[in-house]
Amino acid sequence: MKKKIIILGSTGSIGQSTLEVIKKDKKNYEIILLTANNNYKKIIKQAKEFKAKNVLIKNAEFFLKVKSSLKKNNTKVYTGNVNINKIVKKKVDYTMSSIVGLAGLQPTIDAIKISKTVAIANKETIICAWPILSKAIKKYKTKIMPVDSEHFSIMELTKNVSNDEVEELIITASGGPFLNVLRNKLKKIKPSQAIKHPNWKMGKKISVDSANLMNKVFEVIEACNLFNFDKSKYKVMIHPQSYVHSIIRFKNGLTKAILYNADMKIPISNILHQSKNGYQKSSNANIIKKLNSMTFQEVDPLKFPSIKLIKKCFNCGFSTPIIINAAKSSVQKGETLYDTIKTLECYCDALVIRTENNIELKNHLNEINIPIINAGDRFEHPTQSLLDIYTIREERGTVNNISIALVGDLCNGRTINSLVKCLINYNVTIYFVAPKELQIHDTIIELLKNERAHKSETGHTIIYSKVYNLDSILDKVDVIYMTRLQKERITGFNNNSANEIENEYDKFVLNENNINKTKKNVLILHPLPRNNEIDKALDSNKKCVYFRQMKYGMYTRMALLEMLLCR
């Protein structure tokens, strides 16, 4: 019986390697689903060659091109943020999870539900969301197998081995392209040099992480999640030849290692064939010459300072932020916000602060020694804007070349200010839709004018305009971003009475009457909580994604904390 396969991220390096392995034994595999974000040409070619049953191209811009190209192949084509459980109804044998970054988290969770085995090559999901993944793994009784050479080796070396039997687990690092570069020369290094790994053919992000050894920090954290060994037993060692990927020292005096070429098709093949010699053509290189050329050395923490983060992660438990709300802290008793932060600095590794007035905080930033995340102040809400951008990208595949309506209390809505500052990095058309009294601040318009002048020189475009009638733009926009009326603020910032403004605001709502005027694939977002600006009857409408938006918020904020605590 043919093994049924899903490949998440089939156009990336791991996805392509997986298909190369399958190509050698194509008669025994059936490709149920291939997914990609933008590389429509590659996924069309793959779908034709491997007769894929289904294809998901995330970016809706390429949907029609893919669909028309595969029309004669009996391949069903999907686009956007489609849950793969709705595409694949029956259990599959293997899913290769190789989507880069946190974008791979939700598809991996979905894959766990419908797969006997999930081969995972996505570090970020294991590092940032292991509690979520492990819960799903237990619930659906899915087998997880790491594809990364280091973790695959540990898995193979420690089958039926307990923590008490292990003395040390060594993860090797090639040292990347700068191993033999003098430290005083590193300041002149260019990104193009960092992505030229001497041994591995990888994507740009992982290549850069490998060049500065940040990938080893991630790999140790990943190993601690995947395997039940004490975190203090892990060590990183330089091995430039990338032939030994992990070494296990046992308390009984034995030391074990697995040796194989720097080729991701080897662990992939062994996972797919269950270690039954499935990888048919191995290198004919002289094994004696290879063994004699192997060298090992300690990591130089001065050249690769990121390696010191491993010990810090061990000490802080990978993430130890303290979230404080200035409105409920000792500030109310007369203590300054600065004193509160300096006190908490003694007990934690990061602070998440929400305050109406952060002027005092900004004045003392140079005296604070830990990362601080602004969870919202009087004028900004940066973390909300990050998840908003992430939501748009996840749902549409791209943020570029869209039109977005920002609707509601733009004068007092801090989420709007931060979101606009993110949107200026893209080619977008922005409509500011609000009553006259609640229109966007002149400072934001000035910012857009300056950015537009700058982008005209670089070939990018930003188009914006003020609109005073919601219905007039409903059929023009790809994204509608609704906001609530900030009732607690309008009295102090507007000449009109609160009641008059509220009456005017009632014209800027979405309901069952006017949602039909919107585009078929429009996204409706809201930072929540809401008042009456979106009728609750619309919650089940597929255009409304604000509850998924909240879920994306968890992913992005977890990633932000991980980034700061492991920087």
Fold equal for 3-144 and 382-558: yes
In a 3-state reduction of DSSP, which class is residue 8?
Answer: strand
CA–chain centroid gap for 552, Å, is: 10
User: What tens-digit pLDDT sequence spans the chain (567 residues)?
Assistant: 899 999 999 999 899 999 999 999 899 999 999 999 899 999 999 999 999 999 999 888 899 999 999 999 989 999 988 889 999 999 999 999 998 877 788 899 999 999 999 999 988 788 878 888 999 999 999 999 999 999 999 999 999 999 999 999 999 998 888 888 888 888 788 888 888 877 777 777 777 878 888 888 889 989 999 999 999 999 999 999 989 999 999 999 999 998 988 889 999 999 998 756 555 555 555 788 888 889 999 999 888 888 887 877 666 654 444 455 555 445 555 567 777 777 777 667 788 888 776 676 777 777 888 888 888 887 889 999 999 999 999 999 899 999 999 999 998 888 999 999 999 889 999 999 999 888 998 889 988 888 766 555 555 678 899 999 999 999 999 999 999 987 766 554 445 566 777 778 888 999 999 999 999 999 999 998 888 899 999 999 999 999 999 988 888 888 888 777 765
Residue type (1 letter), 26: K
Helix (H), strand (E), coil (C) string for 2-66: CEEEEEECCCCHHHHHHHHHHHCCHHHEEEEEEEECCCHHHHHHHHHHHCCCEEEECCHHHHHHH
In angstroms, rounded to a whole number, what is the distance separating the alpha carbons of residues 490 and 498?
Answer: 6
Q: Which two tokens stand for residue 119?
A: 């081969």
CB atoms within 10 A of CB 461: 13
Which pTM value belongs to this model?
A: 0.65
DSSP state of 77: E
In angstroms, rounded to a whole number, what is the distance separating the alpha carbons of residues 450 and 402?
Answer: 20
In angstroms, rounded to a whole number, what is the distance separating the alpha carbons of residues 223 and 154?
Answer: 9
In angstroms, rounded to a whole number, what is the distance separating the alpha carbons of residues 44 and 200?
Answer: 26
Q: Which residues pair with 460 in a beta bridge?
A: none
**CATH H-level, domain 3-144: superfamily:** NAD(P)-binding Rossmann-like Domain (3.40.50.720)
Q: Which two tokens stand for residue 279?
A: 């990888």
- The CATH fold assigned to 382-558 is Rossmann fold (3.40.50)
In angstroms, rounded to a whole number, what is the distance separating the alpha carbons of residues 310 and 61?
Answer: 41
Angle of helix 414-423 relative to helix 442-458, nearest 10 degrees, comes to: 10
Helix (H), strand (E), coil (C) string for 248-315: EEECCCCEEEEECCCCCHHHHHHHHCCCCCCCCCCCCCCHHHHHHCCCCECCCCCCCHHHHHHHHHHH
Burial class (CB in 10 A: 0-12, 13-18, 19+), 6: buried
In angstroms, rounded to a whole number, what is the distance separating the alpha carbons of residues 205 and 270?
Answer: 25
In angstroms, rounded to a whole number, what is the distance separating the alpha carbons of residues 489 and 454?
Answer: 34
Can you give the residue ranges of every domain in the chain?
3-144, 150-316, 321-374, 382-558
